[in-house]
Amino acid sequence: MIWSKEETLPRHKLTELQTERFKDTVARVYTNVPFYQKKFEELGITPADITSIDDIVKLPFTKKKDLRDNYPFGLFAVKKDAVVRIHSSSGTTGKPTVVGYTRADLDTWNEVMARVFTMAGVTSEDTSHNAYGYGLFTGGLGLHYGAETVGATVVPSSGGFTSRQLMLMKDFEATVLTSTPSFALHMAEAAVAEGYDIKKDFKLKCGIFGAEPTSLGLKEEVARVWGIHYCEIYGLSEIIGPGVSANCFESSDLHVFEDHFYPEIIDPKTLEVLPLGEKGELVITSLTKQAFPIIRYRTGDITSLDRTPCKCGRTHVRMKSVMGRVDDMLIVNGVNVFPSQVEHVLANIEGITLNYQIIADKKGYLDKLEIMVEVTEAMPLDSIGSLEALKKKIQHELLNNLYINAEIKLVEPRTIERSVGKAVRVIDKRNNS
């Protein structure tokens, strides 16, 4: 199923639409946003210099720091009375990033989210259990209104209260689960512990998961334990929220909704645009946002783009699942390590779960890496020989596949703290040493 005709536009028609919307966006930010006007003037650029979408390379990048420096409303392109909703992300340091929406922006958000639910096979006959967080976080409301747009019944459960979530999913006969993948695994774990028969007690047919980098192994595990089709969604609050891209039934790669969001891949060091297929940092320009348009936003997410035709009929470019973030990448004694790479290795080893944590520290002048991993319930913790063999296997696989030496710490099931949102995979203590 396809929700809107724009998803199947021929490439030349899509390019024409992108150019029209891009020129309008550039003119709007130049006129209404002093930050962009100053940036353009520093480069000697005016809207008249922008004649096609290809001219995007002439424009400056926008970074998260720019959003914080212009807190709260310095990057808004409309007057306050046109803004009908404000979201914010807290971040770990400094001021939060603030984004605004006009009525038209919310309609656009509902539209792209309806595409996501349609990709997942959701219709008005379904009940969607929404375990994403509500409030200032964009995830909960984005998934909520998207499901309502396709006519599905929505249970706005939000995060936490796992036992209650399971009860509601069973009693309300939810057919769709929306949450972070790590929370979906946590709920499955809790369901087994509370005596549920997952395949018999629940009616789930699919799930829409996102908000954190996820390996293929973890996706397959979520799909397996719940017995569902796994649909991946990608988005950022700074761009619109969830709904920038999602995968269809025909591909594990995610269709970027190019009529609203223009993607580029750059080398994060040289800032040069990379060819299709090459891995680098994802940069996105919003083409239709009214309240908070953004030019060449550096997402920090590592991926690549592919324009190979998709069997589903959608013509929009596809992106690979985000493998990690530029700022989450660990450099351990000169070797680049992404949590998703570690996760992929762990997923292929029997006797352990995908509940893990990577701890980076210093030992003298050298980096030291410890990976704490929960064993399965069936793993005998009193068998020293078995545990040592398992440790050595994990160490061997990490060294063989990722070229890293790591100390492995095996812990009992449910030892690592669970999160109702994004899982905390990395703790880097080196800056505190």
Read off the pLDDT of residues 57-105 as tens digits, 9 standing for 90 and up: 999 999 999 998 999 999 999 999 999 999 987 544 457 889 999 999 9
As beta bridge partners, residue 331 has 336
Tell me if the domain spanning 1-325 has CATH number 3.40.50.300: no
The residue written with tokens 């656009």 in the block is 108
| % of the chain residues with pLDDT over 70 | 97
Asked whether the CA dihedral 208, 213, 216, 222 is positive or negative, the reply is negative
Strand duo 297-303 + 280-286: pairing: antiparallel
Q: What share of the chain is helix, strand, coil (3-state, %, to 5)?
A: 35, 25, 40
The C-alpha atoms of residue 165 and residue 134 are separated, in whole angstroms, by 15
Q: What's the CATH code, domain 330-432?
A: 3.30.300.30
What residue spans in the chain does CATH classification 3.40.50.12780 cover?
1-325
Specify the pLDDT at position 94. Answer: 57
In degrees, rounded to 5, the angle at the alpha carbon of residue 60 between the alpha carbons of residues 273 and 293 is 105
Q: Phi, psi at residue 299, to the nearest 5°?
A: -75, -25
pLDDT at 244 over 50: yes
Contact indicator for 183, 159 with CB cutoff of 8 Å: yes
What residue spans in the chain does CATH classification 3.30.300.30 cover?
330-432
320: how many CB neighbours lie within 10 A of its CB? 16
Contact indicator for 229, 251 with CB cutoff of 8 Å: no
Q: pLDDT-based confidence at 294, cuts 50/70/90?
A: very high
Tens-place pLDDT, residues 169-207 = 999 999 999 999 989 998 999 999 999 999 999 999 999
pLDDT at 369 over 80: yes
Strand duo 254-256 + 366-375: pairing: unpaired
pLDDT averaged over every residue in the chain = 93
Q: Provide mean pLDDT across the span 372-382.
A: 88
pTM check: above 0.95: no
Strand stretches in 46-136, DSSP E: 85-89, 97-101, 127-130
Residue type, 183: F
The C-alpha atoms of residue 297 and residue 39 are separated, in whole angstroms, by 14
In degrees, rounded to 5, the angle at the alpha carbon of residue 86 between the alpha carbons of residues 138 and 258 is 55
Q: pLDDT-based confidence at 433, cuts 50/70/90?
A: very low
